[in-house]
Structure 1
């Protein structure tokens, strides 16, 4: 086990400056002899608010150092035209030699920067500058000639990282994707076939996004079921194309091949895409019911297929017994189940169902509250249930369950449901929460009162913001430079190599929470296909909870590629206990979220995780 003496010698002071978000204090460390310390300071400066004079000092230091850290930090600040021009001109005149300056162009570059980068083969072969090309093309529409050049450059390059970077703009956004039947679409298809369909999953996924249904046909013709089963990410993207237009006869075979994919996320995506259409034929729907709905044991596949049937006017009452059974066992899919019940229940039954869930608290209350808001916006509904709604709201305000309050926020804001006379009731609950130091509940009502009653409401003079938790330096030192975090889940075990030198606050927090056992039994409450699986809410367990402290955002030079571990955030320096694992590369997250480690074992488990899957046990070891 390797330990770093720098952790004990230097980290106590530099982490204090990070917690203080002190510009001058952090600047003292940017030229430190130890790279771990200087990099930590530069990355912290990326997320530290600066005034104009401080930004000028930061740019001067970035020019002087001309290192990755400096250009990384600069790229997260608002540069005016003169600042950007000075960097641009210095780079072109070789005053700046580090290609890391392309971090600035990735986030802030313009069309002229793109043209310059593409004009130099040396720069297009650079990892950082090729990524800048992809970043600019994800934001700006560019001439067809440049699109043609980038596609050729990407598919003729033998380096998979450079290919990925150059194609990123097409993968991320539709702004430069070719029109169907255009020359650029034809060129892309021919270059793809020449490169080799199935040779690089990211290339396949990108071009399927570029070509839409045409890409679906090419990939399905060229790839066997075994190959598709090995490429769940590609299969999800193929399934996504089915939402672009109403399926016709030639789509039926590809659809059912994807519906029989071994990864449940692919099946759910097919059903979700098909739900965008309302003119699917009864024989087609009956076949889905027979081959997918009836035999599946997966609740998400089951409920997605019922939603598809309802969307197309097909009855689902024959599945009522199973619907009731699965609904009670899957609280994290409650919103989807409630959509089905809204079609099967009478208004009175549905209102009572929602009310029961809201009163129960937790994740079911959060989902039911949101559905209650939709229900009460229907014409004539508020008048019929006005007294019952007011009784329900009085119950929730008295009970103070955070999930219930959050779920009903839209109801509180609606003057169709609650009259202006409700101010005294809401404000009274707010004042009681403040007095009892129920600060999260108070914050929920504060947002409502500020928006609904701006002239009447007066905010209590209370500091709601949680304090930063400083890292336990002695424990970090004892853990060594490469500790591991093991999560035993219902779908298998995931092992993450942690990065305490780059993310000391985060790793120290995870270590403390893990050793306290709070992650045991916690679910993955959010899973976004081809993006992330997120868990760690041991507090509320509905996706909005965390510890009684916060930790600062700790950006990393590492990109958010597949298998990376990040900390969930609702803005800079709001991080807590929630974490996510990346299904796919997503560089738009780079630097905006803490990247604290990488999965070394269990990527196959990650691909299987679904909403509601539990962490059985979490352990941490050197």
Structure 2
């Protein structure tokens, strides 16, 4: 009935309300559900683009109470609106009977999202074991039916659903034999790369290592499929694709195989081979010779660093000279490895020297004493202060460190950088453990901290100390001001070039439609040169690389405020860029790049760009590689568009 409201108004001679603009809808989404006027108007406007943006926003709020606003859009005229409505229900963990929609829904793209969402939604909290089994069994039946549909898009959606379902539930509720057989059959009959990967991942979650299915995967022309097949079968292959070789070495590496690959053409594979020689305690002559070769002064610092750690595990006498060389390296990342190896060697002299290093990350790796932790509390490096708080855990004289810990917390708070949650939360935990009278007064001031997570923790500690229930004053994070229309102009269709030192230029297409605020923040930081000179500090082969931290760590953000999530139907596909977070709406501006299709990150992490050229260069990035510059080219058309 609501779809005909504009027509009824016209028939009555009334003026239909002007629907909100795209800009107004984006601003309303940024308000995180506190002002629903523009969104409500768009939902009933009959304008498909506005409805799509509005229902997507409602889903991103992840508030189950808003479900009644979404349900009418399940029968909207436009398929794109229906897709977003289904996905919105998935984001809010709705209990709506999505399977019932399959009876009348004809559009393949919508059916695909229905199937995908059926596998995403967990059973109701508190449900008994019988109810959980029944719900999972029913979902599995619907999803295996989807695997048999004729449209490949629908089958892909069903594969996404079955992978999500088994990843979530297979450990506690093993899938039936018929479900597993349906998945195996689909692997053999459907050659679409993404579909096969998802189905193989579903079998992996169920620990079903059917040899016939694995053999099909290993014959696939897609390296991504072969990689997942190797992981499922846990078998050795010497594939021409680095990602497959890495996976094979990871799941079926031996000392001989590792020694043979320390000079692999892919540095990801070579470094893994060096690590395995230590992890697998390879003390045979060939393995030690390989480690000696990679630890020599003529090897790259990364090979030397990884070899030092492996030698410290299997041949400590051979490791000492390498550690001493790394400890005075001009590359601070090498000194981090020296500290880690020195810990294995119990080399206190090297550790004490490195604990005084000018680079905070080296100090973190070398920290072993209370005195070093107390000194670290004077730093403005978030990761170092976090490490200091961890070092002080369980300290017998923790109460005597309360003044230093409160001082560090107050200093970080005074920086007006709310997004420094990690070190402040760690400090607050230590303070709460040893709180005295002055700390109780101090904790009460934290009840109104601008970060609701900090305020909530302070309330919990006070409740424990006083024996009375204490509630936080701050309960909601206030987001940064929404950008002006002028600031957003040209971002719809914008591109960027990231220059990586010694590697080359990577071209990106920015996804303004999917993540307007993430794109705006990225462009603002890049245009101001904030990424210039920062490194990729986290390398997880066959997963992601991450960089863009001023502290070259996980805890020092580049933004001044938290970034809100903009999750949806955008995929964490190989070559896509996303935003690092530590929970909902805590984006820190650090960027990650998917080295493979990371389906399990979908719907949880914001995707804001895709590599259009230079993916082979991304594959070469290793720890310490430097982002020299990011140049953004705005589109010439006005933005945001006003559909």
2:162 corresponds to which of 105, 123, 129: 105
Q: Secondary structure at the match of 2:377?
A: helix
Pair 1:360–1:244, CA change in 2 (3 A): closer
> Which range moved further: 455-464 or 62-71?
62-71
User: Residue 38 of structure 2 corresponds to which residue in structure 1?
Assistant: none
User: Residue 181 of structure 1 corresponds to which residue in structure 2?
Assistant: none
2:58 corresponds to which of 20, 36, 56: 20
The alpha carbon displacement at 1:447 in A equals 5.4
1:206 corresponds to which of 247, 266, 276: 247
2:498–2:630 Cα contact (<8 Å) kept: yes
2:185 corresponds to which of 116, 119, 142: 119
Distance, in Å, in 2 between the alignment partners of 1:579 and 1:122 is 37
Distance, in Å, in 2 between the alignment partners of 1:602 and 1:132 is 22
1:252 corresponds to which of 285, 288, 293: 288
The alpha carbon displacement at 1:486 in A equals 3.6
- Where do residues 195-344 of structure 1 align in structure 2 (5 Å cutoff)? 197-213=238-254, 217-218=256-257, 220-221=259-260, 225=263, 228=264, 230-248=265-283, 249-259=285-295, 265=302, 267-275=304-312, 277=313, 280-282=315-317, 284-286=318-320, 288-289=322-323, 293=326, 296-314=329-347, 316-317=349-350, 323=354, 327-328=357-358, 330-338=359-367, 342=368
Pair 1:142–1:32, CA change in 2 (3 A): same
User: Residue 8 of structure 2 corresponds to which residue in structure 1?
Assistant: none
Q: Secondary structure at the match of 1:307?
A: helix
Q: Secondary structure at the match of 1:566?
A: strand
2:262–2:270 Cα contact (<8 Å) kept: no
Q: Secondary structure at the match of 1:406?
A: helix
Structure 1: 5+ residue stretches without partners: 1-5, 171-176, 178-187, 343-349
Distance, in Å, in 2 between the alignment partners of 1:58 and 1:446 is 45
Residue 552, structure 1, aligned to residue 581, structure 2: no
Distance, in Å, in 2 between the alignment partners of 1:438 and 1:31 is 39
- Where do residues 62-81 of structure 1 align in structure 2 (5 Å cutoff)? 67-78=111-122, 80-81=135-136
State the Cα deviation string for residues 304-327 of structure 1 (Å, max 9, x = none): 23432442345645x976x377x2
User: Residue 411 of structure 1 corresponds to which residue in structure 2?
Assistant: 430
Distance, in Å, in 1 between the alignment partners of 2:82 and 2:299 is 47
User: Residue 145 of structure 2 corresponds to which residue in structure 1?
Assistant: 90
The alpha carbon displacement at 1:58 in A equals 6.0
1:489–1:617 Cα contact (<8 Å) kept: no
State the Cα deviation string for residues 543-575 of structure 1 (Å, max 9, x = none): 2654545423423453432x3211223334544
- Where do residues 592-607 of structure 1 align in structure 2 (5 Å cutoff)? 592-599=604-611, 600-601=613-614, 604=617, 607=620
Q: Secondary structure at the match of 2:56?
A: helix
1:525–1:543 Cα contact (<8 Å) kept: no
Distance, in Å, in 2 between the alignment partners of 1:218 and 1:460 is 57
State the Cα deviation string for residues 93-119 of structure 1 (Å, max 9, x = none): 648872121111112143533322323
2:546–2:590 Cα contact (<8 Å) kept: yes
Distance, in Å, in 1 between the alignment partners of 2:545 and 2:483 is 26
The alpha carbon displacement at 1:358 in A equals 0.6
Distance, in Å, in 2 between the alignment partners of 1:407 and 1:369 is 9
Pair 1:27–1:75, CA change in 2 (3 A): same
Q: Secondary structure at the match of 2:281?
A: coil
Q: Secondary structure at the match of 1:202?
A: helix
User: Residue 173 of structure 1 corresponds to which residue in structure 2?
Assistant: none
State the Cα deviation string for residues 159-215 of structure 1 (Å, max 9, x = none): 434323434535xxxxxx4xxxxxxxxxx44xx3xxxx25122221222122122xx
The alpha carbon displacement at 1:509 in A equals 3.8
1:525–1:612 Cα contact (<8 Å) kept: yes
- Where do residues 369-380 of structure 1 align in structure 2 (5 Å cutoff)? 369-374=388-393, 376-377=394-395
Q: Paired residues, what number? A: 550
Distance, in Å, in 1 between the alignment partners of 2:78 and 2:292 is 57
Normalised to the residue count of structure 1, the TM-score between the two structures is 0.74
Pair 1:335–1:490, CA change in 2 (3 A): farther
The alpha carbon displacement at 1:595 in A equals 2.1
2:75–2:82 Cα contact (<8 Å) kept: yes
Pair 1:448–1:60, CA change in 2 (3 A): farther
The alpha carbon displacement at 1:582 in A equals 2.9
Q: Give the structure, 1 or 2, with the largest relative contact order (CA under 8 Å, sep 6 or more).
A: 1
2:93–2:122 Cα contact (<8 Å) kept: no
Residue 529, structure 1, aligned to residue 536, structure 2: no
User: Residue 221 of structure 2 corresponds to which residue in structure 1?
Assistant: 158
Distance, in Å, in 1 between the alignment partners of 2:77 and 2:490 is 23
Distance, in Å, in 2 between the alignment partners of 1:557 and 1:61 is 26
User: Residue 128 of structure 2 corresponds to which residue in structure 1?
Assistant: none
Distance, in Å, in 2 between the alignment partners of 1:131 and 1:539 is 36
1:361 corresponds to which of 380, 397, 403: 380
Normalised to the residue count of structure 2, the TM-score between the two structures is 0.71
User: Residue 439 of structure 2 corresponds to which residue in structure 1?
Assistant: 426
Pair 1:423–1:494, CA change in 2 (3 A): farther
- Where do residues 397-546 of structure 1 align in structure 2 (5 Å cutoff)? 398-399=410-411, 401=413, 405-414=424-433, 418=434, 422=435, 424-434=437-447, 437=450, 442-443=455-456, 445-446=458-459, 448-449=461-462, 452-453=464-465, 455-467=467-479, 478-481=490-493, 483-488=494-499, 494-515=506-527, 517=528, 519-520=530-531, 523-524=534-535, 526-530=537-541, 531-536=543-548, 543=555, 545=557, 546=559
Distance, in Å, in 2 between the alignment partners of 1:136 and 1:91 is 15
